[in-house]
Structure 1
Amino acid sequence: MPPETNVNKYEPGVLRIFQTKDETKAYYNKIAKVYDLLAEHSEQPMRERGLQKLAAQPGERILEVGFGTGHSVVELAQAVGPTGKVFGVDISDEMVALTNELLQREGLRDQVELTCSDAEALPYEDNSLDGIFTSFTFELFDTPEIPKVLAEWKRVLTTGGRLVVVALSKEGKQGVIMKAYEWTHKHFPNLMDCRPIYARRAIEAAGFDVKETDIEHMWVAVEIVLAVKP
């Protein structure tokens, strides 16, 4: 059975994405310059835990999907060093421009290759990357897209290559805040475009070997998943 027909096995009760890709791109282009003011305080500690799990090493080739304002790209480029390479894919050309400016200031521009694109079709060869990192982006893919995205990520990873996903989660405590968040996403998707998902379940269903899963909490639960391509 094709993986996209199996989504209810790992996404029960997960809301759909109500915005088109063009609407999502326009939204992130609009808020790019103020994104850190809106989200960095809550997202940064979660992102750092994910980067620790990925543990990028000198000489590795690492991809970040949905790099936003570029903080993780900088850390990854520093970790892989001049013998490694970092790649980044983001749907927002404004985010690409901001990240390029940051890399230039940090003297890391030559170590990073950024692409403005959707992560469903990656411009990289099979088995060419040692790791993929993504934070607060996985939950922006609509439910039927998730198996396709994971299959593409699996394609470009080497055998034993690592995947780390940091995502809003339906695991953990499901209280009033979660209900309010999901209500807002359903009725005002232009304000709350992502929604909590079951990240680990989706990654396992795609054939990855999950090594670690942490459930953290900011104002809603966050899954931090480390998996490898078998």
Structure 2
Amino acid sequence: MLSFSPGAITALRAGARPAFLERVRRRLVATFPHFLPCFPDEVQARITGHMLERAAGWGLTHQASLWAFCELMVSVTPNFDEEPAIHARLSQLRDELDGSLAELGRTMPPHVRRSAQRSGSRMPLFVPHRLVAAPAPDRVAAAIVTALHDRAEAAAAPAAAARAVAEADRLGLTQDDAPLVVAACQSFWSPAFTRLHWAEALWREPWSAAERVELLRFRLAAAHRRFV
């Protein structure tokens, strides 16, 4: 019987990872064309790597379960695993997640899915998993480098992040990824984008903070084809 030492298995997995990451990237592009195709291949690979790192953080090793986790990050919300009911279930099944994650996704109750989406954040797509508990400015800076990779803000990400965090706070946008959306608005329109006619109207209407962030996202996607 052919057998491998633990060190050899680790080396084999490390060697296979780039090819698997590329397969996942291509599958994400084909399955969710509104998402990764907004970015060049290099950035697509970086985002895919962030997704796989988050999946691996739950101890997932099977390719099918890693893909299922990535699929849930797009079809539900990137931080779906932080929803209390989902987190509890993942924790309960941690030792057998490789064999049960796909089924967990298929049987997720609609009300749990909706709750996860209401508190959703896209930051896990743009921030390395090692920064999951980092201070907000550091996480926003990392997200800017990826999400705004081709904009001037990416070259001065800490300063851009500080401005965006302060402006999001001033605007009452408290969601985890609101500063990234604000940073994108400041980049594509101007630091004073809230004075633009369409933005002033956005704040005159009785939208909630979450609704305003989503409307800003829609505007960025429609006007600049930017997914944030």
Task: State TM-score, norm by structure 2.
Answer: 0.25
Larger Rg: 2
- Structure with more helix by fraction: 2
Task: State TM-score, norm by structure 1.
Answer: 0.25
- Structure with more strand by fraction: 1
